[in-house]
Amino acid sequence: MEKMDLIIASSSIAEAGVGCWDLDSGAEQLRYKSCASTPHGLTCVGQRFIASSQLREPSATSGSVLYWSWIKPQAAVKSFPSEPIKPFVSNSVGTYIVGGGQSGDIYLWEVETGRLIKKWHAHYRAVTCLVFSSDDSLLISGSEDGCVRVWSLITVCDDYESQRASHLYEYSLTEHTLCVTDIVIGQGGYNAIIISASEDRTCKVWSLSHGRLLRNIVFPSVIDAIVLDPAEHVFYAGSRDGNIYIAALSAESSSSSSYGKHILSSLYDHSKAVTCLAYSIEGNLLLSGSEDGMVRIWDPRTLNIVRMFKHGKGPVNNILVVRRPNFLTLGAFSNSHGSSRRHGSLLPPPLEKYVNMDKDANKMGVIRLPTACNILPNVPFNSSHILDEHVKLVEQQGSSAANEMEVERLKLENRKAMHMVQQWKKMYGNLHEFCVNEFLKGDDKGNID
């Protein structure tokens, strides 16, 4: 089978742009120009195009978000949100984009129209990372104030609900003492685990269902990036001392590790600080980006480097592993391939700056992007608790309807029974008459005899 994964990496220095390599062959693809992305600020929207929020001066009054289509190196669409956006992610199908602002606000845009659906004050200080849960129903945000918050997008968008409650978030996890640097969430719907890394040199493992701290792991250095092993046995933590530590989750951990409790071993390649990590499930490879501008690819089983890409001089601060869009698989970007041109260049409008209040209420439906990938996007899962709520609702409604039906049925039965009673009465009357007649006849006969 043909390997489909592409690596996309960006840097905080604009000249390096966005690098793009084939994971299997190592061949460099098109390089997208002039991108100084923020940490956690690069995303691939529904495999259709690349988007990134740009580093701005802290004093800047507006942010900047750029879109690149797959086939053109120049940024195609530029938007300027009302403040510098730091982390920037889209959900897995690419319907929504979420950005976290310098002031602690979170912005939720609809991709296809560029409409700013919701903006809410989420943190006291700048948002540093944003992650969607595996079913896209929850959003987890980390902030400079050391706080990790879990948001249910349904609650957030529900105006009625959000006005009633004293707070919007589901959980506010406030154990970190310094800026949160990275967050990952595991599989398993509502029973997943969240891992957050912080500048206080710790990673904390939380339970999503209880909002409770499960484990606290202290590292020898600040952890800037974490990524989960697909089986969730361990997680990899890229630190500022250049090591990638392997920390135990469900794996057995001996207490006598040289690095500290729960830390099993480390990957080291004399590099500078590790700034970002990614995991390719298809190739079972670990990818790390470093301060020295290199992207290293590791085999997590042997702990050896498999391949290295030179991204540029500046520090790499984002790596993504994405599935290759199908129009890119057929050779190069041939102009003759009409559909590729159409697919590639069709970009949605820029993101709006403000929430537009006087939009038509009836235009609230979700607008999905035309699919640009070679596999049909999976139907989004609803998380179990929403399903439960639905089921309960249906049950409640259903039971009242059923009651009515039951009443109808009973009425019908009653009518039938009444009918039957009538018939029996009639029959009894007939019989009685018959008997009396017979008796009288007999008497008559006797009299005659």
Partner 1 sequence: MARSKAASSKKQQKQRGVDFKKIKRKLGRKLKPSKNATNTEIKSKAIVLPEQSVASEKAGLAVSKKGLTLKELLQQTSHHNVKVRKDALLGIKDLFQRYPAELKLHRYVVIEKLRERISDDDKVVRETLYQLLKSVIFPACKEDNQGQFVSLMMAYIFNAMTHLAFDVRLMAFKFFDLVVQYYPPSFSLYAEKILQNYEDILRKNQCYLQDKGKLKSTFAGLVRCLSLLPCNKRNIETCEKTFSGQGILHAFEPDVPTESAGFSPIIKKLKDLVPVLVNCFQEFIPLVHSMLLLDTQSFDCMHYILQSIDHAVGFFIYGIRKGKPSLHGGPDGAIWDQTISSVLLKRFFNMFPLNATHNLSEKFDDRFFILNILIAEIFLQYSEWIYPPAVLLEKFLEFIEDALLGKICSDTRSSKAVWGKHVLSLLPFIPKLIRQVASDWKFRLLQAFTMTFEDCSPESSLKLACLSAMEEMLVPTDEMVCPDASYPLFEHQIIWIRALPVLLILLDDKHPSSTQVVLHLLLRLGQRACMNSSFAREYDNIQYSLSKFYSSCQEGGEICYGPFVRLPRDSQELSICGLYYFSYLDQLSLKSIASCCLRPELEPFVLFRIIEVLHSSFNDGHIQIADHMSFFVTLLSRFKVFPENIYPAVENDVKISNRGTFKSLTNAVCSCLSQMGDDSLVFQILEKVILDQLLSQPPLDNACAMLRMLVSQDSKPSRLSEQSISALSKYLSGYLIDVVHCIPEDDDDTTESARIQTCCYYFLPCFFLFDRSHKLVKLVLMVMGSLITESTAPLSQNYIQYAMDRSNRINAMVSTLLLMHKDAKLQKIISLFKVETVHILQIIHSLQSSENANMNIEERHKIQCACDRLKTITGVMQ
Q: Please give the residue ranges that form the binding site for partner 1 (CB under 8 A).
A: 58, 103-104, 121, 124-125, 144-147, 164-167, 172, 174, 177-179, 193, 199-201, 205, 212-216, 222, 240, 249-250, 261, 272-273, 291
For partner 1, the closer CB: 182 or 199: 199
The least distance separating partner 1 from the CB of residue 220, rounded to whole angstroms, comes to: 10
Separation of alpha carbons 228 and 247, rounded Å: 10
For partner 1, the closer CB: 95 or 239: 239
Residues forming a β-bridge with 277: 288
One DSSP character per residue, 161-195 reads HHHHSS-S-SEEE---SS-EEEEEE-SSGGG-EEE
For partner 1, the closer CB: 223 or 320: 223
For β-strands 193-198 and 202-207, DSSP reports them as antiparallel
For partner 1, the closer CB: 135 or 199: 199
Q: Are 110 and 381 in contact (CB under 8 A)?
A: no
For partner 1, the closer CB: 218 or 402: 218
For partner 1, the closer CB: 200 or 352: 200
For partner 1, the closer CB: 182 or 291: 291
Residues forming a β-bridge with 68: 50
The least distance separating partner 1 from the CB of residue 99, rounded to whole angstroms, comes to: 18
The least distance separating partner 1 from the CB of residue 183, rounded to whole angstroms, comes to: 17
The least distance separating partner 1 from the CB of residue 147, rounded to whole angstroms, comes to: 7
In degrees, to the nearest 5, what angle opens at C-alpha 279 toward C-alphas 17 and 274? 60
Q: Are 278 and 227 in contact (CB under 8 A)?
A: yes
Burial of 438: CB neighbours in 10 Å, binned 0-12, 13-18, 19+:
exposed
The least distance separating partner 1 from the CB of residue 211, rounded to whole angstroms, comes to: 11
Q: Up-side HSE of residue 372: CA atoms within 13 Å toward CB?
A: 30
Q: Are 110 and 367 in contact (CB under 8 A)?
A: yes
Among 185, 171, 194, CA closest to 134: 185
Residue with tokens 């920037």: 88
The least distance separating partner 1 from the CB of residue 301, rounded to whole angstroms, comes to: 22
N- to C-terminal Cα distance for the chain? Answer: 111
> If you ran DSSP here, which 8-state letter would residue 125 be given?
S
For partner 1, the closer CB: 28 or 145: 145
Element (H, E) at 359: none
Residue with tokens 């390997």: 3
The least distance separating partner 1 from the CB of residue 344, rounded to whole angstroms, comes to: 35
The least distance separating partner 1 from the CB of residue 214, rounded to whole angstroms, comes to: 6
